[in-house]
Structure 1
């Protein structure tokens, strides 16, 4: 019906190419246009101005000889002011873009190791975008955005990378655990040393107090009981302490002790036996 009345309609975000006897005449903007076909006017076709996206998968290898698949997304659109170039100069836009993308990726990625390729995805995308922008602007297209969506190595390589990462983390964990155990042992040893030091101080003070008490007892007894010697007083004190010790051992319900030799019928020799026992213990 439109051809019958010499009218054509151009949709929004689209331009149309008008020809006159097969020669380009003008670009028709969205709206209704007169197209007198009997005067040689005709519509060559339509060109979309909408943003388009092309997803590509390019296989290449890195500097350390690992084959990877690089997934790129190219966002582009035709320029309204260069619609005639975009319509006439390229027969297959997507194929042309793909050729440039593959060329840049296969020139950039082989210069990088696998780890560096992951870290420099933005640099690869920028290189692709610059090359595409320079090439496609001559054909009436604008490159809006170039994204390196993914770098996918072989499955065996990914498994090996995961194992390396896991081993490194286990090594760090083992070092941290060993360091913690080392600190625990050091602190425990320091605590035991401090405990033994304080215990030694206590024993030394206890023995000093016993010696001071015995000295005071000997001196007091010698003054109050004339004719007694220091040896007599010491014998009596030793016997008294001996029986006090025997009493404490007997009062304990579950006690085991190794004591100096003792004969029940020779109580008067207890002091001698105590001294003999002390001497035996010191020799052993």
Structure 2
């Protein structure tokens, strides 16, 4: 084989090698495998052409280029502290944290330069505005409502950036030392007031119970006197009916019976005792015994 033939064969081989390398390069440049957690922003001649999703994608080699590789995983902004003044003029320091995801990379890369800084600035402004509409007590007690409001306003603000705010958290609401001291004094005063009210209510209840007891005792005494009066009235009625039915003799008989009972009681006394009875009383007792014998 002559030298010219060798040179011609070598040139042909080089050409085929170059063609093979070019073909591999075309395939390599035109075939894009996108990971599950990313999206690729494709530019053609410097302008947005399309967005590649996860998997195998084909582009035009040398015309289309991958301008941005954007992660679509949820991200967390670093915790940020911002000062805010409540409606009742109390200075508070609020620590916040925000989680977000990129849903439309073409908006994120072409409409905002530093997305993290932009979201942090937006959150700070919204937090200051919302806390400025609330008193300190409302900030402390309505934290869930405040978080929901902040999340809503942040989502509306970053919607043009192709971002979805998944969570917004208020980690802490801190007060300056002077405000803490004032709140502690107020808390102690409130505790003392509640203790005084409780003690006063206890004393009031004790007086009410004592009055109820005295009223109950008076009612029971009145009932006893009423029963006694009813019994006396009943006895008087019996005597009256006896007199009406049997005449004066029945009344004398009842009197004689009482006299005998009284004498018997005197005789049953304990110890040595002397009972002096007037003469007319002895005569009356004798009459009473005679009447009793006559009745028997």
TM superposition score normalised by structure 2: 0.60
Match of 1:264 in 2: 274
Q: Aligned equivalents of 2:258 and 2:99: distance in 1?
A: 107
Give the RMSD, CA atoms, in angstroms. Answer: 4.7
Query: Are 2:40 and 2:70, in contact at CA under 8 Å, matched by a contact in 1?
Result: yes
Residues 28-76 of structure 1 show CA distances to partners (whole Å, capped at 9, x for unaligned) of 2212345788x37653442122343445544423222334344545343
Q: Aligned equivalents of 2:90 and 2:158: distance in 1?
A: 31
Corresponding residue SS for 1:143: strand
Match of 1:101 in 2: 123
Q: Which runs of 5+ in 2 are unaligned?
A: 1-23, 282-296
Match of 2:51 in 1: 27
Q: Does 1:60 align with 2:67?
A: no
How far the C-alpha of 1:194 sits from its partner, in A, is 1.9
Q: Measured at CA, do residues 134 and 236 of structure 1 come closer, stay the same or move farther in structure 2, by a change above 3 Å?
A: closer
Query: Are 1:221 and 1:233, in contact at CA under 8 Å, matched by a contact in 2?
Result: no
Query: Are 2:83 and 2:93, in contact at CA under 8 Å, matched by a contact in 1?
Result: yes
TM superposition score normalised by structure 1: 0.62
Corresponding residue SS for 2:132: helix
Corresponding residue SS for 1:111: coil
Match of 2:71 in 1: 48
Q: Measured at CA, do residues 43 and 31 of structure 1 come closer, stay the same or move farther in structure 2, by a change above 3 Å?
A: same
Q: Aligned equivalents of 2:81 and 2:133: distance in 1?
A: 19
How far the C-alpha of 1:163 sits from its partner, in A, is 5.0
Corresponding residue SS for 2:225: helix
How far the C-alpha of 1:109 sits from its partner, in A, is 1.1
Match of 1:193 in 2: 218
Q: Aligned equivalents of 2:260 and 2:129: distance in 1?
A: 103
Q: Does 1:223 align with 2:249?
A: yes
Query: Are 2:75 and 2:101, in contact at CA under 8 Å, matched by a contact in 1?
Result: yes
Q: Aligned equivalents of 1:119 and 1:213: distance in 2?
A: 80
Residues 143-197 of structure 1 show CA distances to partners (whole Å, capped at 9, x for unaligned) of 3454556655566577567657756765675576456545534542332122011
Query: Are 1:52 and 1:76, in contact at CA under 8 Å, matched by a contact in 2?
Result: yes
Residues 197-234 of structure 1 show CA distances to partners (whole Å, capped at 9, x for unaligned) of 111112223434555677769x989638xxxx96x985
Aligned residues: 249
1:1-284 equivalence runs, <5 A: 5-6=28-29, 7-19=31-43, 24-33=48-57, 39=62, 42-54=65-77, 56-80=80-104, 83-118=105-140, 120-121=142-143, 124-125=146-147, 127-144=149-166, 146=168, 148=170, 151=173, 163=188, 170=195, 177=202, 180-181=205-206, 184-208=209-233, 211=236, 223=249, 237-238=258-259, 240-241=261-262, 243-244=264-265, 247=268, 264-268=274-278
Corresponding residue SS for 2:73: coil
Q: Measured at CA, do residues 202 and 130 of structure 1 come closer, stay the same or move farther in structure 2, by a change above 3 Å?
A: closer
Q: Aligned equivalents of 2:160 and 2:137: distance in 1?
A: 36
